[in-house]
């Protein structure tokens, strides 16, 4: 659907332009810019940890938990940040994120003790978490008609943005040069995120209620996310239009009372675990089969490219077609291609191995697009930041599986069974998608026959 077209008689692009005074796509551009700016925290750490350890004259394993702290703080910070944003808007919160994320990298340049590295990277991770939840839910709030595409653009920027700075970082990843690199990146993060803080704003509470006769099936949403019911649309509508447009927004406690949320949570852990197993271990997996160094390098280099591009492509597909079907096919294929990696490795087929890595990531990485979109579909846009932030905590479980659990499994059973388990988890999540349906107003204890297929 091109921007400016209507969905069910509602021209969301026109309404947004009337509210903002300019195109709503500027909100997505600002969000994507911020996501790209903070992405080095996740994707550049492996390039700077060695000079950091050398400068502090400590063994590299002493920094082993820094990235784990990052995952925890980046994930868990999103819930309080999301709740604040839903109630007070994004500006103050994003300004804080700029100070934390930008200041964290600048501070690393002057760190003289291990505890300072842990503290600064954790504080920076909080800033990254704020930017992530603000950016993803900016798409949800301004694009109820194109949630998949717009969240895909933001998360693609997060996956691919670091590609712009990795060559610069690696060329200067020495004890003598890394401090300047960190300061420069920190200043860039600060400036880009401050621009985002200036540009971003949330739609007013009633922006979708104006000209309500354009869409007689859309319900009204009152202050605080409480439902002001007009005529709810058919609960079987899974077209991708947010639940709030069908006359129902769920608070976080209401969401937690539905079985759909807990199924989504389990699916998120499974798919994130499968995704991170490949992301974190693809080089060592290639080495396990004795593949050439160039194969491992190519796989590691092309992996984030495939992950980033897929989020936009499959995000758009999930807007145009039934979202649960797109999720199901994507996750099942992600699992199948992971299993194929084992066969390519055993055959020592380098080119197929790289191609299968890209295919596996292409179909699993859009989990970061599918889940915020379906949370908005099922539970509405009003509380989308807080609601998705709760679901996003499942990434911690996926990270633990891909790290600690996978490490134990590799030591106990070997690489191939561990990767096969990752593939099985992705396939199971894809099949579980067929159980999903929109929640009824009554939640877990209610009659959901109206929501059945």
Same-domain pairing of 384 and 310 = yes
Q: What integer pLDDT is reported at residue 10 of this predicted model?
A: 60
Residue 227's pLDDT is what? Answer: 37
Q: Which domain holds residue 160?
A: 12-199
Q: Are residues 176 and 302 in the same domain?
A: no
| Domain total in the chain | 2
Answer with the one of 132, 167, 199 that is the final residue of a domain.
199
Please answer whether residues 239 and 378 qualify as being in contact, where contact means their C-beta atoms are separated by less than 8 angstroms.
no
Residues 419, 153, 371, 326: what is their CA dihedral angle, to the nearest 10 degrees?
-70
**Cα separations in angstroms, 118 against 126, 402, 411:** 12, 21, 28
Helix count and strand count (H, E) for the chain:
21, 2
Does residue 441 share a domain with residue 369? yes
Residue that wins the pLDDT comparison between 98 and 147: 98
One domain, residues 289 and 194: no
Q: pLDDT (tens digit, 9 = 90+) per residue, 361-414? A: 899 888 888 898 888 888 877 777 778 888 888 887 777 776 667 777 877 888
Best CA proximity match to 134, nearest among 90, 84, 194: 90
Q: Residue 265 falls within a domain, yes or no?
A: yes
Same domain, 161 and 259: no
- Residue 309 resides in a domain: yes
Residue 43 lies in a domain: yes
Report pLDDT for 277. Answer: 80
**Of 155, 184, 199, which residue constitutes the final position of a domain?**
199
Q: Is residue 54 part of a domain?
A: yes
In the predicted model, what is the mean pLDDT of residues 297-306?
Answer: 78
| One domain, residues 113 and 189 | yes
Domain co-membership, 166 together with 283: no
The full length of the chain comes to 453
Least confident of 68-72, 118-122, 280-284, 448-452: 448-452
pTM of the entire predicted model? 0.68
Weakest mean pLDDT among 319-323, 325-329, 425-429: 319-323
Specify whether 38 is located in the same domain as 162: yes
pLDDT in tens, 178-197: 788 889 899 999 999 999 88
Average pLDDT over residues 415-422: 88
Checking phi first, is residue 21 left (phi over 0); if not, alpha (psi -120 to 50) or beta?
left
Residue 37 lies in a domain: yes
Identify the domain boundary among 164, 199, 234: 199
316 within some domain: yes
Lowest-pLDDT choice from 26-40, 250-264, 307-321, 342-356:
307-321
Check whether residue 333 and residue 445 sit in a common domain. Answer: yes
Residue 312 forms part of a structural domain: yes
DSSP secondary structure, 120-157, as one string: HHHHHHHHHHHHHHHHHHHHHHH-TTSHHHHHHHHHHH
Judge whether residue 144 has pLDDT over 50: yes
Report yes or no on 246 lying in a domain: no
- pLDDT, tens digit, 9 for 90 and up, residues 225-240: 333 333 333 333 444 4
Q: Are residues 319 and 393 in the same domain?
A: yes
- Poorest-pLDDT segment among 111-120, 172-181, 338-347: 172-181
Which residues, in sequence order, are CB contacts of 291 under 8 Å at separation 6+?
A: 345, 348, 350, 353
Q: What pLDDT score does 193 carry?
A: 92
Instruction: CATH number of the domain at 126, please.
Output: 1.20.1250.20
């Amino acid at each position: 659907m091109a921007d400016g077209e209507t969905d069910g008689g509602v021209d969301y692009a026109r309404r947004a332009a009337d509210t903002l005074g300019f195109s709503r796509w500027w909100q997505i551009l600002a969000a994507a810019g911020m996501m790209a700016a903070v992405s080095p925290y996740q994707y550049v750490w492996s390039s700077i940890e060695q000079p950091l350890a050398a400068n502090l004259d400590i063994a590299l394993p002493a920094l082993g938990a820094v990235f784990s702290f990052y995952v925890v703080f980046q994930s868990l910070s999103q819930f309080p940040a999301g709740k604040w944003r839903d109630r007070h808007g994004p500006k103050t919160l994003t300004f804080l994120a700029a100070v934390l994320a930008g200041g964290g990298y600048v501070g690393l340049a002057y760190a003289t003790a291990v505890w300072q590295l842990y503290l600064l990277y954790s504080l920076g991770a909080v800033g990254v978490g704020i930017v992530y939840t603000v950016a993803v839910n900016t798409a949800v709030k301004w694009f109820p008609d194109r949630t998949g595409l717009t969240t895909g653009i933001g998360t693609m920027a997060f996956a691919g943005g670091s590609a712009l700075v990795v060559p610069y970082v690696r060329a200067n990843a020495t004890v003598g040069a890394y401090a300047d690199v960190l300061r420069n990146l920190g200043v860039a993060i600060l400036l880009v995120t401050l621009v985002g803080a200036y540009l971003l704003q949330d739609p007013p509470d009633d922006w979708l209620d104006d000209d309500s006769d354009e869409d007689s099936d859309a319900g009204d949403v009152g202050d605080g996310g409480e439902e002001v019911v007009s005529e709810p649309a058919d609960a079987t509508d899974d077209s991708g239009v947010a639940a709030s447009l069908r006359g129902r927004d769920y608070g976080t406690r209401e969401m937690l009372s539905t079985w759909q949320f807990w199924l989504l949570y389990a699916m998120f852990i499974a798919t994130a675990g499968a995704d991170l197993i490949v992301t974190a271990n693809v080089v060592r997996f290639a080495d396990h089969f004795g593949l050439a160094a160039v194969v491992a390098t190519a796989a590691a280099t092309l992996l984030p490219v495939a992950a980033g591009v897929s989020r936009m492509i499959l995000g758009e597909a999930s807007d145009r077609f039934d979202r649960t079907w797109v999720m199901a096919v994507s996750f099942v294929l992600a699992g199948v291609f992971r299993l194929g990696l084992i066969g390519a490795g055993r055959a020592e087929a380098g080119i197929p191995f790289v191609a299968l890595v890209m295919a596996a990531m292409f179909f699993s990485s859009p989990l970061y697009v599918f889940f915020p979109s379906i949370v908005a579909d099922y539970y509405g846009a009003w509380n989308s930041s807080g609601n998705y932030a709760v679901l996003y905590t499942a990434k911690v479980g996926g990270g633990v599986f891909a790290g600690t659990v996978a490490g134990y499994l590799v030591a106990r059973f070997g690489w191939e069974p561990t990767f096969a388990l990752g593939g099985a988890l992705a396939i199971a999540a894809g099949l579980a998608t067929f159980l999903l349906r929109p929640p009824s107003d009554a939640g877990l204890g209610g009659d959901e026959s109206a929501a059945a297929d």
